[in-house]
Amino acid sequence: MLATALSRRAAVGVNANALRSLSTWANVVAGPPDPILGVTEAFKADQDPRKINLGVGAYRDGNGKPYVLPSVKKAEEILTASKPDKEYLPITGLAEFTKRAALLAYGADSAPLKDGAISITQSISGTGALRIGGEFLARHYPHSKAIYLPVPSWGNHTPIFADSGLEVRGYRYFDKKTVGLDFEGLKADLRAAPEQSIVLLHACAHNPTGVDPTQAQWAEISDIVKERKLFPFFDMAYQGFASGDTARDAFALRHFVAEGHQVALAQSFAKNMGLYGERVGAFSLVTADPAEKARVDSQLKIVIRPMYSNPPVHGALIANTILGDKALYTQWEGEVKGMADRIISMREKLYNALTHDLKTPGEWGHIKSQIGMFSFTGLTPDHTKVLAQKAHVYMTSNGRISMAGLNDSNIDYFAESVNAAVKGNL
């Protein structure tokens, strides 16, 4: 085929130099496959009927199927019937949507919200919000280029912030021994961080561990952040999804704002509205006053315009339709609670299966105490490897499972496979 192509090109007068352009990308090495999205690739390739995908964090219903929220379906019908045009959104997105997104996150009583001091832009879901935030901080945060991430954190946080031009560091978070929060380590590391460093905080349902601070612990963290003048950057990808209650899941964010912190917030509607692929999110900053908000707005636009000009409209219209309609909003809240409840029931079941039925070695209480989509099982990379190869059970190599991938039909097989892996019998 190459010979024919070359002779064809010779026929149209190809200069020998063109072939030397074979060297243009000679120095490009193969990039690594994405560790999270790569799990789904491996799962898809597997033909075994018992296979389970506990990799990527996308909700599945009780039948293991993707779940299009009925409120979303309804919103789409209303939307399509209204025959919207496809005109460009402003750089910062659909204004009605971002206004409502801010209200959902910060709450109606939020002082900066009422003062018109929150600068907000629509973003390409949570990833886009984090990236806009990273770029903005790298350019305009005057005091530091260092951002502290909990250890561990979502894998993509590191490249997002590094590529934005920030220096990524870590603070202790997960305690392997207790399979819970290393609160003393967290406090010590935040106290030791240089003043005015940036600190990334998972607002709720920590990814990948599922371990969240208690409200009392959040209050302590807020005090330390104040003490060290750290800049809090909240990543909230699971509001409503964690406890089933959107206000409750926003506690940490709202507490910090009430305490006077000027925060940054990355918000995603991928999980709580099931809008994953439509890429619906928002990035916001608490500023001092409307005049400062206007200046910050103008600089956010400077970040966004040369990257992608303006965000996609379809998903934002769906989210806006739901948030703006009382009945749909209430319906949506119920559906979010439904998803959260199913996950909580799977946690219960898995805990009971491992502890009472199979008597699997180890302590499994963390399965129940952890919150949200993910659970850090405590399984080792070797365990996860053998689980994939022998049991056709897929999860990321750090032992994180997406609870949403479990259901009544596969939970027993999963528990048995874990049991066998831990005992070394797989």
In terms of CB distance, is 162 or 247 closer to other proteins?
162
What is the residue-wise DSSP string for 56-78? S---B-TTS-B---HHHHHHHHH
In terms of CB distance, is 396 or 417 closer to other proteins?
396
In terms of CB distance, is 125 or 267 closer to other proteins?
125
Q: Considering the complex, what minimum distance in angstroms separates the CB of residue 11 from other proteins?
A: 9
Q: Does 364 participate in catalysis according to the annotation?
A: no
Three-class SS state of 411: helix
In terms of CB distance, is 48 or 85 closer to other proteins?
85
Catalytic residue among 74, 271, 293, 349: 271
In terms of CB distance, is 155 or 378 closer to other proteins?
155
Q: Considering the complex, what minimum distance in angstroms separates the CB of residue 404 from other proteins?
A: 12
Instruction: Give, for 400, the enclosing helix (H) or strand (E).
Output: strand 400-402
Closest CA to 379 of 349, 421, 407: 421
Q: Does 235 participate in catalysis according to the annotation?
A: yes
In terms of CB distance, is 61 or 416 closer to other proteins?
61
Q: Is residue 249 a contact partner of residue 240, using CB atoms and an 8 Å limit?
A: yes
Instruction: Compute the distance between CA of residue 110 and CA of residue 409 in angstroms, rounded to an integer.
Output: 44
Instruction: Compute the distance between CA of residue 399 and CA of residue 376 in angstroms, rounded to an integer.
Output: 6
In terms of CB distance, is 90 or 116 closer to other proteins?
90
Catalytic residue among 182, 189, 212, 235: 235
Amino acid letter, residue 368: K
Place of tokens 């908000």: 293
Q: Considering the complex, what minimum distance in angstroms separates the CB of residue 353 from other proteins?
A: 28
Burial of 192 per CB tally in 10 Å (0-12, 13-18, 19+): exposed
Other Cβ atoms closer than 10 A to 16: 7
User: Angle at Cα 352 formed by Cα 346 and Cα 355, nearest 5°?
Assistant: 135
Q: Would you tell me the crossing angle of helices 313-324 and 70-81 to the nearest 10 degrees? A: 110
End-to-end CA distance of the chain: give it in Å, rounded: 46
Three-class SS state of 168: strand
Catalytic residue among 51, 74, 154, 212: 154
Q: Is residue 311 a contact partner of residue 372, using CB atoms and an 8 Å limit?
A: no
Q: Does 359 participate in catalysis according to the annotation?
A: no
Q: Considering the complex, what minimum distance in angstroms separates the CB of residue 148 from other proteins?
A: 16
Closest CA to 234 of 254, 215, 253: 253
Q: Considering the complex, what minimum distance in angstroms separates the CB of residue 60 from other proteins?
A: 10
Instruction: Compute the distance between CA of residue 4 and CA of residue 340 in angstroms, rounded to an integer.
Output: 59
Q: Considering the complex, what minimum distance in angstroms separates the CB of residue 419 from other proteins?
A: 31
Active site residue ranges: 154, 235, 271
